A = this chain, B = another copy of it.
Amino acid sequence: MDSSTKNWREQLYVMVFQTDTKAGRRFDGILLLIILASLVVVMLDSIDAVHQNYADLLAYIEWGFTVIFAIEYGLRLYCSPKPLRYAFSFYGLVDLLAIVPGVLALYYSDAQYLLIIRIIRMLRIFRVLKLSPYLKQANYLMSALRGSKQKIVVFLVSVCTLVTVFGTLMYVIEGPEHGFTSIPKGIYWAIVTLTTVGFGDIVPKTPLGQVVSSLVMITGYSIIAVPTGIFTAELANAMRGDTLQHPCPVCRKNSHEPDAAFCSRCGNALFKKLE
């Protein structure tokens, strides 16, 4: 491999993988548009009226997109300094998944709906927008979610218990003649009601059933406060650094209340007052 090829591969690498240069940004921009177009084609193809008239055309276009993504995948493998590492990275796998269903669709026609997985590639959009502030904000959100993980598990377990009990109760009260044909159906109804979605495909008809429903609804209406409260409190925590990290000059206590002026262990001033 002579130096000019190497140089060309490096330039390609900069364009394909990075967004600092004008060429890199343009490459990512065009790629996003193609992904979007590919998604729109899958959606259009699912509409019956469109499918009957343009099935062949859309199939050809979809094939075109698959070829383009295959070439792009090849390019990325070719110009990446560590091809294997790219291939098994998150983005590498997603890029591969954008091609596979197109090939599978030759044998199983339902496989084409897997193409919708290409939407994950749209996450690259954050690379085109100015990336870092979004990443920082996403980090706040992630750390708030991590911090509230155990509280959320406790909450979800409680919700599952609630809907199972209420679903069974409604099945016993209302019975199959009012649409509650089985316990799982009752649980489905309890979820629909507790989350305040309320499709209305199954509704209580007996007075007792309506009393229990009212209970479920008010419960659902009230406990939505719980995940909100958890997340808000955690996010507020994540957004402000909560303690003052500064060693006390006398006793070396290192962590203090945010606005502490004196050490709470030894009572000495934390900061010297300049004369």
Contacts and interface: CB of A to CB of B under 8 A. Distances in A.
Interface stretch (A26-34, A53-61, A72-80, A194-202): A194-202
A210 interface: yes
A262 B253 CA distance: 13
Nearest to A164: B119
A237 B153 CA distance: 21
Interface string A81-104: 000000000000000000000000
Contacts of A263: 262, 264, 267
A38 interface: no
Chain A contact surface mostly: helix
Nearest to A203: B201
Interface in A208-241: 210, 213-214, 217-218, 220-222, 224-237, 239
Interface in A152-185: 152-157, 159, 161, 164-165, 168, 171-172, 176, 181-185
Contact of A201 (B138, B187, B200, B237): B200
Interface residues of A, number: 106
Most chain-B CB neighbours within 10 Å: which of A39, A165, A269, A272? A269
A10 interface: no
A261 B265 contact: yes
A141 interface: yes
Contacts of A201: 200, 203
- Of all A-B residue pairs in the complex, the 9 with the closest CB atoms, nearest first, are A261-B261, A262-B267, A259-B259, A266-B271, A260-B264, A197-B198, A200-B200, A195-B221, A229-B232
8 contacts: A43-B182, A47-B183, A126-B157, A138-B154, A188-B210, A225-B232, A265-B271, A266-B270
